[in-house]
Amino acid sequence: MYMADVVKDLMDRITNDDPETRGQQLWVMFALSIFLVATLNWYAYVREPEVIQVESLLEYKSENVKVEGMLISWVEDPYSSGDDRIDAIIDDGTGVVEARWFRPAEMPPIGTTVTVMGNVIEYDGRIWIQSLGAGAFEWSPEDVPDIEILAIANVAQNPQAYEGVAIQLTGFIGETISPDTTFNSAYLGDHPSWGNSEHQLHLTIRSGTGQWIEATSKVDVIGILSYQQRDLRWSLQVQGTDIYLDRNHVVNVPLLDWSAEATWSYQSGQIVDMAGVVLTGESTWELVGPGNSKICLNPSDEDRASEATSPVDGTLQTVSGRLLWSTAVNNWCIDASGQDSPQLVDPQTPMTLLAMLSGNPVAMVDNPDATYTLSAYVKYAVEPSVEDEEGYLVDTAAYMPGQTTIAVNFPSPRTAWLESGQNIIANVSVNWDDEDMRIRLVVHDYTLGTVPSARTLLWDDGATQWGYSRDQNVLLNGKAVMEDGEWKLFRDGSNQSIQLNLESQAIGVDELHANQSMTWQGRIRQMQSNDGMSIVFALDEADVLDSDGDRLGDTLEEALGTSPTSEDSDDNGVSDRDQIEQEAGS
């Protein structure tokens, strides 16, 4: 009671009307108000903010609160204004709120359960939490989610099963992603060629990647799968920092077509190749194509230094760089000045066939004495010959729509086959063929790449399909049978057969392999029948497939339980063939 009396007496003194004490009263009231405000501010500062649900945020406007939920997205410096700020999206199940975090620390992975502390801001109908400093976001190692590693096909079969959870996918990205763009949209496919992809998943990429990611790159991505009602599609919400690049995968670099400038925007930002005549200068470089079409070049310092010692001015070259729109010249440019760009002109890189034909074919015909180093593929198998022989080169190893073909003359003598689909690097010159009214290449010397794997033939494919494999190395299942003094290969359970021309020392008809259906390897040939009235097929230079060279066919080894890829399956110092023969003799 005594304390209450003191306070009452103090308030009576402050509030009385005595003129003699009025000045002192005002000073006491001012000091008391300062004390009360300071006390309230101190309380607001030291008290622990309350953890509330997102749906109740409006009730706590201008107050410090905590929100606990799943981190589903974030972006650094969202307006590219240089702010030291991250905008994060938090979902606590009752709603979603944006947390604007100034002077932030390192962000946890998407899907982490975090506790965010900050001031509730409402402005012009929008509401967010404004946080400051490294301690505004809290999480523990137990809050970081377990990432389920899946294939795109798994998600395609049942996307609902993975909605709202963090998953990891491996695939090939469909477009080039710049390192600093804060928002991107792309597709993730299961094949680097989009025409061959069985599945494609949409990606929503927030925050910069910190590196260029080229189209068709192989990547691992971690994100949260969600359904977008507006676009009626599933999308993986991904942070740029959660895209991991497989640098062992070779990216497909497209060759720009001079006649398709309207489509160049699809390759904007992407590393591309382009062929033409290089014109160098002190300040600007250009690439000139057919019809005097031009595109500007931005060389690197290394390119300029190389030009001083090994000039390329006025020569036909394939250039590489990043395709960018230049506002300075109001045109497209191929830029090699970036840190991660390839060398603009690399004389050590052979020109591709398509590049050679798209660069400046008319000028090449006008200069038949010039030679070029060309990388291409053999279209049809060409057998050994003592005379120069005509053939064809193409720009892809296997047939595809739009494949570019050019006639060539191969030099002689040759003792080895040129196989279909085999890479060839050749020094060539360009001639005009008056008889066929087309450009023809003359091959002076060449180096061959690895022989392609044998193609598997099926009996059900029929003669028309087999004709496409003429003169190629093939695999065909069947049983070797001697008939009328000739070996033939019969289809199991059928009278269908082809002639079998065995190679020397063939093992496919010895005592171990006789009367068994095996996989045979040889060169499929078309020839006249004995009566000369029809075309028949034959398997030339034929023998059973023997991958490990132990003189046991692969099919037989699989039946016996030995390894078709190891000459000594049990590693006992005795080859599989010798061991089988010893066991049969005992």
- pLDDT computed for residue 517 by the predictor: 93
Give a yes or no: residue 270 inside a domain.
Answer: yes
Say if residue 345 is in the same domain as residue 362: no
Q: Which of 84, 115, 143 marks a domain boundary?
A: 143
Please name which of 125, 77, 130 lies closest in space to residue 100, comparing C-alpha atoms: 130
Give a yes or no: residue 560 inside a domain.
Answer: no
Q: Which residues contact 90 (CB under 8 A, 6 or more apart)?
A: 54, 67, 69, 70, 71, 72, 96, 97, 98, 99, 114, 116
The residue written with tokens 């057998």 in the block is 383
Q: Provide the residue type at 251 as one letter.
A: V
First to last CA, the chain: 118
Say if residue 269 is in the same domain as residue 311: yes
| Predicted model pTM | 0.61
Give a yes or no: residue 557 inside a domain.
Answer: no
Say if residue 35 is in the same domain as residue 54: no
Whether 570 contacts 557, CB under 8 Å:
no
Say if residue 162 is in the same domain as residue 134: no
| Token duo for residue 405 | 């073909």
- pLDDT computed for residue 1 by the predictor: 47
DSSP helix/strand/coil, 55: helix
Which tens digits make up the pLDDT trace of 144-175? 887 888 888 889 889 999 988 889 999 999 88
CATH number at residue 276: 2.40.50.140
Say if residue 443 is in the same domain as residue 460: no
Give a yes or no: residue 481 inside a domain.
Answer: yes
How far is residue 540's CA from residue 520's CA, in Å, rounded to a whole number?
Answer: 11
φ and ψ at 494, to 5 degrees?
A: -150, 160
Say if residue 27 is in the same domain as residue 107: no
- pLDDT computed for residue 30 by the predictor: 60
Q: Which of 448, 464, 483 marks a domain boundary?
A: 448
Whether 190 contacts 120, CB under 8 Å:
no
Q: Which residues contact 387 (CB under 8 A, 6 or more apart)?
A: 412
CB atoms within 10 A of CB 216: 21
Whether 341 contacts 322, CB under 8 Å:
yes
Say if residue 67 is in the same domain as residue 34: no
User: What residues of the chain score a pLDDT lower than 70?
Assistant: 1-48, 195, 532, 585-586
Exposed/middle/buried for residue 584 (C-beta within 10 Å: 0-12, 13-18, 19+): exposed
Give a yes or no: residue 198 inside a domain.
Answer: yes
Whether 528 contacts 488, CB under 8 Å:
no
Say if residue 305 is in the same domain as residue 264: yes
Give a yes or no: residue 553 inside a domain.
Answer: no
Domain that holds residue 517: 455-545
Whether 138 contacts 119, CB under 8 Å:
no
H helices of 269-425, in order, are 301-309, 353-359, 361-366
Give a yes or no: residue 565 inside a domain.
Answer: no
Say if residue 137 is in the same domain as residue 153: no
- pLDDT computed for residue 57 by the predictor: 87
Please name which of 296, 379, 380, 279 lies closest in space to residue 334, comparing C-alpha atoms: 296
Provide the domain count of the chain: 6
- pLDDT computed for residue 446 by the predictor: 93
Whether 320 contacts 346, CB under 8 Å:
yes
Q: Which of 143, 174, 191 marks a domain boundary?
A: 143
Give a yes or no: residue 21 inside a domain.
Answer: yes
Say if residue 135 is in the same domain as residue 172: no
Say if residue 58 is in the same domain as residue 110: yes
Say if residue 139 is in the same domain as residue 54: yes
